[in-house]
Amino acid sequence: MSNNSTSNMKMRIIHRYLGFFLAGIMAVYALSGIVLIFRDTDFLKSEVTVEEKISPNIKNEELAKKLHSKRLKVEKEEGNMVYFQNGDYNRETGVAHIMTKELPYVLDKITHLHKASTEDQLYWLNIFFGFSLLFFVISAFWMYMPKSSIFKKGIIFTLAGIVLTLVLLFL
């Protein structure tokens, strides 16, 4: 058996079993990606009201920071009450009520796969998954002989996929 066919066989075996392993991860990523498409809507979300105790007598400018809300805008003030979109804050007691819309627990957890940063534990999974997909791209070209018609058609489909992605990105 030649060295070239041995490396081809090893590449096929790694590609096969890594593919089976990644099938589960890809299913979760696909589901979370579809859910994230609708993140700006109320699709699958339910209303949740959270009561948060913060310091009393906070100024309006500091309120957004204390409530961890970048979009908080005070709409009106009446006595000790400060009203903002989706909530209120009592200056005397320091209690704030915030109404949010959240995904069900499991969907919320899996959508964090796409949003993981280096501060999350999940970012290692994202790096592994990204490199694994890159390996898939490269190892797919070891499945067929370079002179075969399937390989040549595969190159055309690969180029078509790149062109379509670039066209959609820049439209």
Strands across the sheet containing 95-102: 46-53, 95-102, 87-90, 81-84, 74-78
Same domain assignment for residues 84 and 117: no
Q: Which domain holds residue 19?
A: 3-41+110-170
Same domain assignment for residues 134 and 117: yes
Same domain assignment for residues 139 and 94: no
Q: Which residue has the higher pLDDT, 123 or 1?
A: 123
Same domain assignment for residues 36 and 52: no
**In the Cβ-directed half-sphere of 35, how many Cα atoms lie within 13 Å?**
22
Q: Among the residues of the chain, which ranges form H helices? A: 3-37, 60-66, 105-115, 123-139, 149-170
Same domain assignment for residues 119 and 70: no
For residue 114, with 0-12 CB atoms within 10 Å meaning exposed, 13-18 middle and 19 or more buried, which class applies? Answer: middle
Same domain assignment for residues 137 and 161: yes
Same domain assignment for residues 89 and 115: no
Same domain assignment for residues 121 and 159: yes
Same domain assignment for residues 54 and 83: yes
pLDDT band, very low/low/confident/very high, at 11 (cuts 50, 70, 90) = confident
Same domain assignment for residues 60 and 84: yes
Same domain assignment for residues 149 and 69: no
Q: Give the pLDDT confidence of 23-71 residue by residue, as tens digits.
A: 988 899 899 999 999 999 999 999 999 999 999 998 888 888 888 887 8
Mean pLDDT of the chain: 90
Same domain assignment for residues 162 and 78: no
Q: Give the pLDDT confidence of 95-107 residue by residue, as tens digits.
A: 999 999 999 999 9
Q: Give the pLDDT confidence of 56-69 residue by residue, as tens digits.
A: 998 888 888 888 88
Q: Could you give the number of structural domains in the chain?
A: 2
